[in-house]
Amino acid sequence: SAEVDSNEPVMISCAQKLNSQQSQINEAKVARHRVPSINYAVGLVMFHLHRDAQGLTRQKQCVILSWDECFREEVCRRKWGLSFEPVTNGYRLDQPFYHIIPFETSRYWRFAILFLGKVEKNLYVPQESLVLHPVGIYHDREMPRIDGLCIFFELFDGRRYVPNAEHRAHFPDDNAAALSLIQQI
């Protein structure tokens, strides 16, 4: 039988990936309690404000998957098996950052997703680039499936995605915070 050399680059890379995944699994089991600087909650439907190629400010609908008290390099690109693109250009890194999953309900994006294969990138964004969606959104059967949502949320109640039991345990204070924010509108 062949011996495996643990100093081989492939083995080192595998061990590092395994350790990283184990760290994420362990982190997901620890409850994240809110701090005063966190303005939004997991599951809320938001607008992400961003500049397009022409320099115009655009808003994209999204849902909050998680939050961090400040920018965290170690989770900005991958979290819970999903890929994220960090948005940091021109923003302070000491403010809360949110993992968001963007989605679009317009007919153009339905066409683009279904027939052109365009996919929205998940983002890791600063708090100052988010605005609470002022009204509920309507989901119909024609709306494209949003990757990742069914893993963390059990239903959509017209205003927010309701976290499943495991996600609620990870963000135990967010349910009350989300309901409070929605009632203020």
Give 95-145 pLDDT, tens digit per residue: 999 999 987 666 555 555 555 555 568 899 999 999 999 987 766 555 556
Give the whole-angstrom CA distance, residue 41 versus residue 24.
20
Token readout for 17 is 């990936």
pLDDT tens figures, 36-69: 999 999 999 999 998 877 888 889 889 999 999 9
Q: Which two tokens stand for residue 29?
A: 């089991």
Give the DSSP H or E segment for 45. strand 45-51
Residue 127 buriedness (CB in 10 A; 0-12 / 13-18 / 19+): middle
pTM above 0.85, yes or no: no
Helix (H) / strand (E) containing 167: helix 165-170
Mean pLDDT in the chain? Answer: 83
Query: Nearest to residue 123, comparing CAs of 73, 55, 48, 54?
Result: 48
CA-closest candidate to residue 167, choices 42, 9, 23: 42
Q: Classify 74 as helix, strand or coil.
A: helix
Q: What is the pLDDT of residue 25?
A: 63
For residue 172, the one-letter residue type is: P
Q: What tokens were used for 81?
A: 């098996």
**For position 123, what pLDDT does the model report?**
92
What is the distance between the alpha carbons of residues 18 and 159, in angstroms, rounded to a whole number? 37
